[in-house]
Structure formats: C-alpha cells, structure tokens
C-alpha cells in the first residue's frame, strides 16, 4: 500500500461538488487525490503513485475514456473505474476496449458499491504488481540460465 498504508485513489471530475463529496466520504479510508480536469489528473499522476483512478465520462476537455486511453501508455498500472450519469452503452464499450477499465459505475454512485469496487480494484492492482515482479524474476533467471548454457557449450 501507500506509505501511509492507505489505497491512493485519484478521482477526476469536472464537477467540483462531486470531488468534495467523494473526498468527504472517503478521506478517512483512502488517500484521496482529486482533479477537476484530465490535464490536472496527468499532473497528479506524474507526481504521485496512484493505485485506483476514477473518472467521470462526460467532461469538457476530453471524455473519461479518452483520458484513460492517454494514460495507458505512461501509467498502465493504476486500475481504472469509469463513472457516468448517462446510460451510454457506446461509452461503456469504448471504456472496456480502449480505456481498459476495471469497472463501470453509474452516477450518482452508491457509497458501499463504490467502496467495494475500489477495494476489488486495489486487489487486482496488487495482483498485477506481483505478476510484474515474478515476470522480471523469471526473465532474470532465464538470462542466467542462457549465460550458463553458453559457458558450458564453450568449455
């Protein structure tokens, strides 16, 4: 977990009241970071380690899906959750296919459902981190074995 043993959650929404509400609801349980725009969120991501990102779908500069697409290359590790107040199935499909989201939730969000989703997303985040570490160790072991094999063949 984060240095303070809390899951770090970044919530991106162009409606300031939603940001205040989220922070007030979850500040004791999570390290809550907020951003009023995708541009601000990119700044936060470049300075803080984030485990879970929640983004509103409908924002003026870019949609939540577009934001998730942009961050995938540079910040692939955080789990992504899309929130929207509109039943827009094409947005959900795009979010899954392009933004590689972990989950989709309707706004206004249900506190318990959102809390459970954040925790499941964090568990998935930890699984991805563990898998990355194991793959790196496996790659190192393979390199060492190849080196030893070359040495043996040369002798």
- State both tokens at 125: 């985040």
Is 155 among the domain residues?
no
- What would the DSSP string read from start to end of 18-66? HHHHHHHHHTTTSEEEEESSHHHHHHHHHHS--SEEEEES--SSS-HHH
Is 131 among the domain residues?
no
Domain count for the chain, please give it.
Answer: 1
- pLDDT(99) > 80: no
Is 75 among the domain residues?
yes
Identify whether the C-beta of residue 79 lies closer than 8 Å to the C-beta of residue 121: yes
Query: What pTM, to 2 d.p., does this model score?
Result: 0.84
Is 94 among the domain residues?
yes
Helix or strand (DSSP H, E) at 31: strand 31-35
Is 152 among the domain residues?
no
Tens-digit pLDDT profile for residues 52-67 = 999 999 899 899 989 9
Q: What is the CATH number of the domain that holds 84?
A: 3.40.50.2300
Tens-digit pLDDT profile for residues 1-55 = 544 689 999 999 999 999 999 999 999 999 999 999 999 999 999 999 999 999 9
Domain coverage including residue 53: 8-125
């Amino acid at each position: 977990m984060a240095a303070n043993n809390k899951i770090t959650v970044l919530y991106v929404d162009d409606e300031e009241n939603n940001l205040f509400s989220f922070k007030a609801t979850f500040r004791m349980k999570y390290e809550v970071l907020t951003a009023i725009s995708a541009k601000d969120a990119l700044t936060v991501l470049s300075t803080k380690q984030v485990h879970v990102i929640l983004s509103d779908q409908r924002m003026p500069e870019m949609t939540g899906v577009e934001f998730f697409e942009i961050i995938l290359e540079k910040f692939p590790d955080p789990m992504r959750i899309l929130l929207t107040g509109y039943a827009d199935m094409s947005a959900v499909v795009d979010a899954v296919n392009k933004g590689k989201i972990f989950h989709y939730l309707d706004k206004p969000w249900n506190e318990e459902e959102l809390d459970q989703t954040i925790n499941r997303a964090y568990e998935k985040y930890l699984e991805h981190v563990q898998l990355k570490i194991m793959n790196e160790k496996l790659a190192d072991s393979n390199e060492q074995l190849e080196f030893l094999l070359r040495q043996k063949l040369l002798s």
